[in-house]
């Protein structure tokens, strides 16, 4: 049987899957597409230049082994880099592409022309109308790379952050989007990048801001009719770090202005760092043109730390605080607090406080008492997506059916229950809940919550639904 590019690559993938970590395989090899096979030369398409660089640096030996196994010693590998071009003919990385084959997607969106070129820029962080723009970075000096410990759960994001800090605006990681759940270190890592850049490049203007504050500033600028000053201010930033970018969801005006600021910074070689609680593909109510820009660089996930990393974090925390603790106590805390770094450090602080206030030695028994109480009082983070999945599974339907427009009674009730639990277990607004559960408005969510309350009081079977789902979501 004649070998094809796909059959050769499928065999290579099987070899790679057996010889590298599952997460690495999923991240670096699943997105690759086999394109053609000619004269023992296999051409594969990778999503970005960063993919090409990373594969060459970290996996070139094992790739060569896999390919030699399939095609012999004369085998060669050619990378085809898929690129998106939003600047007409100005491809930012053209000169660095290893293959002339590329996929470029043209777009009409360009940096927004602005008329007001007043050098007396208004700084949202200082008194408006100042003459000399002095921008404080808003960075927390205690969040550094030194105390952001590396482990399997954060290695990609940390290394990419260090690469950005060494050469801001000069790598393929622009923007760098760091995403992950609550308390896993997104804010810490973004501050560490900014602090490192300030140390290496004191002349660069670095600014950290939350998406929420950015939105408030924009609303204020529109009220005072100085929108152009707001845009100009952000266009002079060399390194812009925006935390919790998912909060731009549903805010059309803020998304529009950020889109143009982003384009200007990117085209001028400035660095953008973003954090989010979810990957771009899972973001709701963010314009596609903005999501496409989030995907230009690298999206790096922070995952839950493994046991070894949790132990290292605890030991580092204790060392910094000048506290000694037996290894068996540290191991016990690390084994029982698994959700996130913030809770892990919080448990140790509680343990130290109990020991200090009650003048007790930190023993394993004390650790068990504190950790048990701490875990019991710590509610697990529940997302709207997770609620929809639990409710859908309970009623034996898929999530798309739950979100659909159908008015069938059992589906409507499942949808109303999902909205009810989203309001109960999350801090999301009614509008955000409605948007994520079938693109409904806030009035629909309010009606759903009232309906669930009424049925719970009057319908025995419905009350069982609520009680069952409450148990499932509270585990």
Residue 283, pLDDT above cutoff 80? no
Domain spanning 307-377, CATH class:
mainly alpha
Q: Residue 392: what pLDDT?
A: 92
Percentage, residues of the chain above pLDDT 70 = 83
Lowest mean pLDDT among 155-169, 276-290, 352-366, 426-440: 352-366
| Sequence-distant contacts of 460-468: CB under 8 A, at least 24 apart | 462/413, 465/394, 465/413, 465/417, 466/417, 466/420, 468/394
Assign domain 5-103 to its CATH architecture: 2-Layer Sandwich (3.30)
Residue whose structure tokens are 């007001």: 116
Residue 159 buriedness (CB in 10 A; 0-12 / 13-18 / 19+): middle
Q: Residue 469: what pLDDT?
A: 92
Bridge partners, residue 404, by sequence: none
Residue 190, pLDDT above cutoff 80? yes
Q: Provide the residue ranges of all domains of the chain, joining segments of one domain with +.
A: 5-103, 155-302, 307-377, 384-474
For residues 21 and 1, the model is more confident at 21
Residue 437, pLDDT above cutoff 90? yes
Q: Residue 365: what pLDDT?
A: 73
Residue 78, pLDDT above cutoff 60? yes
pLDDT per residue over 16-37, tens digit each? 888 888 777 887 888 888 998 9
Over residues 311-321, the mean pLDDT reads: 75
CA–CA separation, 176 vs 170, rounded Å?
Answer: 12
- The model's pTM is 0.52
Q: Residue 401: what pLDDT?
A: 92
Q: Residue 85: what pLDDT?
A: 38
Q: Residue 230: what pLDDT?
A: 85
Determine how β-strand 41-46 pairs with β-strand 76-82.
parallel
Name 308's Cβ contacts closer than 8 Å, sequence gap at least 6: 151
> What are residue 152's phi and psi, to 5 degrees?
-60, -30
The three-class DSSP label of residue 276 is strand
Domain spanning 155-302, CATH class:
alpha beta
3-state secondary structure 67-103: HHHHHCCCCEEEEEEECCCCCCCCCCCHHHCCCCCEE
**Which CATH code fits 384-474?**
1.10.1750.10
Over residues 430-454, the mean pLDDT reads: 89
């Amino acid at each position: 049987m004649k070998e094809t590019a796909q059959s050769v690559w499928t065999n290579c993938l099987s070899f790679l899957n057996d010889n590298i970590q599952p997460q690495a395989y999923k991240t670096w090899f699943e997105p690759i597409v086999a394109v053609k096979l000619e004269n023992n030369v296999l051409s594969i398409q990778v999503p970005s230049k960063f993919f090409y660089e990373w594969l060459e640096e970290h996996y070139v030996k094992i790739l060569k082994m896999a390919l030699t196994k399939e095609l012999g010693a004369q085998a060669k590998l050619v990378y085809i880099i898929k690129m998106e071009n939003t600047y007409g003919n100005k491809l930012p990385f053209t000169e660095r592409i290893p293959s002339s084959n590329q996929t470029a997607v043209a777009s009409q969106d360009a940096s927004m022309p602005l008329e007001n070129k007043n050098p007396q820029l208004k700084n949202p962080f200082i008194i408006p109308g100042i003459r000399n723009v002095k921008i404080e970075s808003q960075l927390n000096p205690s969040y550094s790379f030194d105390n952001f410990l590396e482990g399997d759960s954060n290695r990609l994001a940390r290394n990419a952050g260090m690469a950005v800090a060494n050469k801001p605006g000069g790598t393929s990681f622009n923007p760098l989007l760091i995403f992950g759940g609550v308390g896993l270190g997104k804010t810490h890592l973004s501050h560490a990048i900014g602090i490192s850049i300030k140390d290496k490049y004191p002349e660069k203007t670095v600014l950290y801001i939350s998406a929420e504050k950015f939105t408030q500033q924009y609303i204020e600028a529109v009220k005072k009719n100085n929108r152009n000053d707001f845009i100009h201010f952000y266009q002079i930033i060399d390194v812009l770090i925006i935390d919790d970018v998912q909060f731009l969801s549903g805010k059309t005006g803020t998304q529009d202005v950020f889109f143009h600021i982003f384009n200007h910074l990117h085209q001028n070689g400035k660095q953008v760092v973003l954090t989010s609680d979810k990957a771009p593909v899972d973001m709701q109510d963010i314009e596609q043109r903005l999501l496409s820009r989030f995907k230009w660089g690298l999206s790096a996930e922070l995952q839950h730390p493994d046991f070894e990393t949790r132990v290292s974090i605890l030991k580092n925390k204790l060392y910094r605080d000048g506290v000694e603790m037996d290894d068996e106590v540290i191991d016990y805390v690390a084994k029982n607090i698994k959700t996130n770094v913030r809770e892990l450090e919080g448990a140790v602080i509680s343990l130290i406080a109990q020991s200090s206030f009650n003048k007790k030695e930190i023993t394993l028994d004390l650790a068990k008492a504190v950790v048990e109480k701490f875990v019991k009082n710590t509610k697990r983070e529940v997302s709207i997506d997770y609620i929809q999945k639990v409710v859908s599974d309970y009623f034996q339907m898929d999530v798309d059916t739950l979100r659909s427009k159908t008015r069938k009674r059992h589906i409507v009730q499942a949808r109303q229950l999902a909205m009810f639990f989203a309001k109960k277990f999350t801090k999301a607004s009614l509008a955000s809940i409605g948007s994520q559960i079938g693109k409904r408005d806030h009035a629909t969510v309010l009606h759903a919550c009232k309906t669930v309350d009424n049925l719970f009081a009057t319908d025995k079977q419905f009350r069982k639904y609520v009680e069952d789902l409450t148990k499932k979501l509270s585990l």
